[in-house]
Chains A and B, each alone.
Chain A
């Protein structure tokens, strides 16, 4: 079985976020990046299927040179090869643009199963997976928390709200977006990292994929007009002082609430 995993490199969860001068994105120089946490679960899900039944895991990502590092990490974890769409012409793509690029890759690869994270930790848009499936004309489901594979189908438990789950069967080929907590993500072993150095990263341009003029900022149907720190609304009354003083004030309030 061939599995394609789409990964995105995003600012590390603890990275300091400053809006850049033009107000449309964050300053992304000199901050730490990581594989989007949801995509780490996607990659783990793929690697577990490969561990159990063999096959090939191909990771794909779009972005600048620094993305190579995340692809090497994925290869170190056990992916077999990587595809990197590295082209300034892809910069500023909206979710549909990203889905078009990935669809071109997927058409060439014909995987049995495609994984993406449910959303990315930067945009939180949660669109690329279902859009990619739609462009490919294959079934999809979102927010998977478990997955079982049988002949010709996968059965997924997807997360709903309030602790509820929905069980859904999908015919393969299909696409599944993964929720965090679906699995415990493995680390790349030293042996894995050494082996990853010999694994191929295939670099593609937008033109290679036949999408010149159809993706990137110019083709985006959604533009970020302004990114900004949320205005301070009502907000909390801030209690300050030493830990003892703060504890005293909080207890006073808890008493006032009639809870002591």
Chain B
């Protein structure tokens, strides 16, 4: 019986929370199917993280520690993953649905001629068979996916599973990786400059989506409510993509990760990337025409209606309440 290999990630010098979520998923599959859990840690000077993962349920942790692996490149990480696969003989390889997962997981799947499922929020084990659950159509529909045969490469949605919080003794096995001259070369990482808009510190955020229809509507409809509440204005990705507002207004996995006391989502359907960015909000009010919009699943209060009618009335009512 082959093993389950999870590819861990290091973020800001620490083991990423999503990697401990992969431990949960791997152990669940492992317990149900009798497969052993193994892990891979890649980087430079990361033996401490490998030790940590070995104690936190990662099983046998392959450590690919090399100067050539100091920065992420798909070629270098692919070389490390190939070495771990050769050493661990996995039938199931798990990664997180993160920038590393986006780049590396499909490459691994194609190289292994594997079944590939991405961005799964859960997995069910039915006998020897696995069924992965994920969203399609930007969250409008769910699907049960059945891989046919082995191996399987899967990426899991960060935050969808609880991190493994138990302890279990594993071991660290050093892995020799030959990183050749790949075709991709890491140059640098850049952090976008915030130009005066720091949504991460806002107590109230009023966000608008594509259905606002244009940049002027943000000034006419969204901003007055944000101002009345002493809060900040935010936006979903399509708004920023359309150039209506600069990138620093974007709430979402690729934009700002926010945690206000109150988040008011106006005309936002609730694509997964947006929900990831706003899930730390204490209280969420959603205003949307479409009663089936996924945003209503995460909101505390919902209004099914036209934001152009509701939001100005709300702005007036807030102003009146303040006297």
Alpha-carbon distance A174/B185, docked complex (angstroms): 12
In the complex, are the beta carbons of A228 and B103 less than 8 A apart? no
Q: How far is the CB of A21 from chain B (nearest CB, A)?
A: 15
Task: Please name all residues of chain B whose beta carbon is closer than 8 Å to the beta carbon of A199 when the two chains form the complex.
Answer: none
In the complex, are the beta carbons of A17 and B141 less than 8 A apart? yes
In the complex, are the beta carbons of A250 and B303 less than 8 A apart? yes
In the complex, are the beta carbons of B141 and A26 less than 8 A apart? yes
| B interface majority secondary structure | mixed
Given contacts A143-B102, A246-B303, A259-B203, contact A221 B187 (CB under 8 A): no
- Contacting A at CB under 8 A, from B275-313, are 282-286, 292, 294, 296-305, 309-310, 313
- Contacting A at CB under 8 A, from B159-182, are 182
Alpha-carbon distance A162/B256, docked complex (angstroms): 5
Alpha-carbon distance A234/B117, docked complex (angstroms): 27
Task: Write the A11-27 contact mask toward B (1 if CB under 8 angstroms, else 0).
Answer: 10000010100000010
Question: For the complex, is A141 an interface residue (Cβ under 8 Å from B)?
Answer: yes
Q: Which of A131, A184, A234, A247 contacts B110 (CB 8 A)?
A: A131
Q: How far is the CB of A218 from chain B (nearest CB, A)?
A: 10
In the complex, are the beta carbons of B316 and A247 less than 8 A apart? yes
Alpha-carbon distance A238/B142, docked complex (angstroms): 23
Task: Write the B240-274 contact mask toward A (1 if CB under 8 angstroms, else 0).
Answer: 11010001101001111100011000000000100
Q: In the complex, which of the residues B106, B285, B304 has the most CB atoms of chain A within 10 Å of its own CB atom? A: B106
Task: Please name all residues of chain B whose beta carbon is closer than 8 Å to the beta carbon of A194 when the two chains form the complex.
Answer: none
Alpha-carbon distance A128/B109, docked complex (angstroms): 11
Nearest B residue to A251, CB-CB: B317
Task: Please name all residues of chain B whose beta carbon is closer than 8 Å to the beta carbon of A126 when the two chains form the complex.
Answer: 102, 106, 118-119
Question: For the complex, is A123 an interface residue (Cβ under 8 Å from B)?
Answer: yes
Q: Which of A99, A163, A221, A232 contacts B191 (CB 8 A)?
A: A163
Task: Write the A40-63 contact mask toward B (1 if CB under 8 angstroms, else 0).
Answer: 000000000000000000000000
In the complex, are the beta carbons of A141 and B74 less than 8 A apart? yes
Task: Please name all residues of chain B whose beta carbon is closer than 8 Å to the beta carbon of A30 when the two chains form the complex.
Answer: none
Task: Please name all residues of chain A whose beta carbon is closer than 8 Å to the beta carbon of B262 when the two chains form the complex.
Answer: 254, 257, 259
Q: Which of A131, A181, A253 contacts B240 (CB 8 A)?
A: A181
In the complex, are the beta carbons of A259 and B313 less than 8 A apart? no
In the complex, are the beta carbons of A168 and B184 less than 8 A apart? yes
In the complex, are the beta carbons of A181 and B148 less than 8 A apart? no
Q: How far is the CB of B255 from chain A (nearest CB, A)?
A: 6
Question: For the complex, is B216 an interface residue (Cβ under 8 Å from A)?
Answer: no
Alpha-carbon distance A129/B105, docked complex (angstroms): 12
In the complex, are the beta carbons of B107 and A236 less than 8 A apart? no
Task: Please name all residues of chain B whose beta carbon is closer than 8 Å to the beta carbon of A227 when the two chains form the complex.
Answer: 136, 141-143
Alpha-carbon distance A107/B264, docked complex (angstroms): 50
Q: Which of A118, A157, A228, A239 contacts B302 (CB 8 A)?
A: A239
Task: Please name all residues of chain A whose beta carbon is closer than 8 Å to the beta carbon of B304 when the two chains form the complex.
Answer: 238, 240
Q: How far is the CB of A35 from chain B (nearest CB, A)?
A: 15
Alpha-carbon distance A133/B149, docked complex (angstroms): 23
Task: Write the A163-177 contact mask toward B (1 if CB under 8 angstroms, else 0).
Answer: 111111111001000
- Contacting B at CB under 8 A, from A88-126, are 94-96, 99, 118, 121-126
Q: Which of A19, A121, A139, A179 contacts B138 (CB 8 A)?
A: A121
Task: Please name all residues of chain B whose beta carbon is closer than 8 Å to the beta carbon of A158 when the two chains form the complex.
Answer: 99
Task: Please name all residues of chain A whose beta carbon is closer than 8 Å to the beta carbon of B254 when the two chains form the complex.
Answer: 159-163, 179
In the complex, are the beta carbons of B191 and A164 less than 8 A apart? yes
Q: How far is the CB of B307 from chain A (nearest CB, A)?
A: 10
Alpha-carbon distance A123/B138, docked complex (angstroms): 8
Question: For the complex, is B128 an interface residue (Cβ under 8 Å from A)?
Answer: no
Question: For the complex, is A29 an interface residue (Cβ under 8 Å from B)?
Answer: no
Nearest A residue to B290, CB-CB: A14
Task: Please name all residues of chain A whose beta carbon is closer than 8 Å to the beta carbon of B30 when the two chains form the complex.
Answer: none
In the complex, are the beta carbons of A139 and B183 less than 8 A apart? yes
In the complex, are the beta carbons of B190 and A157 less than 8 A apart? yes
Question: For the complex, is B98 an interface residue (Cβ under 8 Å from A)?
Answer: yes
Q: Which of B148, B194, B282, B303 contacts A222 (CB 8 A)?
A: B148
In the complex, are the beta carbons of A235 and B297 less than 8 A apart? yes
In the complex, are the beta carbons of A221 and B321 less than 8 A apart? no
In the complex, are the beta carbons of B145 and A96 less than 8 A apart? no
In the complex, are the beta carbons of A142 and B314 less than 8 A apart? no
Question: For the complex, is A65 an interface residue (Cβ under 8 Å from B)?
Answer: no
In the complex, are the beta carbons of B106 and A130 less than 8 A apart? yes
Question: For the complex, is A191 an interface residue (Cβ under 8 Å from B)?
Answer: no
Task: Please name all residues of chain B whose beta carbon is closer than 8 Å to the beta carbon of A118 when the two chains form the complex.
Answer: 102
In the complex, are the beta carbons of B148 and A228 less than 8 A apart? no
Seen from chain A, the residues whose Cβ lies within 8 Å of a Cβ on chain B are 11, 17, 19, 26, 94-96, 99, 118, 121-131, 133-135, 138-143, 155, 157-171, 174, 179-181, 184, 220-240, 243-244, 246-248, 250-251, 253-255, 257, 259-260
Give the 6 A-B CB pairs with smallest separation, nearest first.
Answer: A139-B183, A236-B302, A181-B241, A221-B115, A134-B110, A236-B299
27 A-B Cβ contacts within 8 A?
A11-B137, A17-B141, A96-B109, A118-B102, A125-B118, A127-B109, A134-B106, A139-B183, A164-B189, A180-B241, A181-B237, A221-B114, A230-B294, A230-B297, A232-B297, A235-B299, A236-B284, A236-B298, A236-B300, A237-B300, A239-B303, A244-B317, A247-B314, A247-B316, A250-B314, A251-B318, A257-B282
A128-B106, A222-B148, A247-B313 known; 5 other A-B pairs, CB under 8 Å? A19-B141, A131-B110, A160-B189, A180-B237, A235-B296
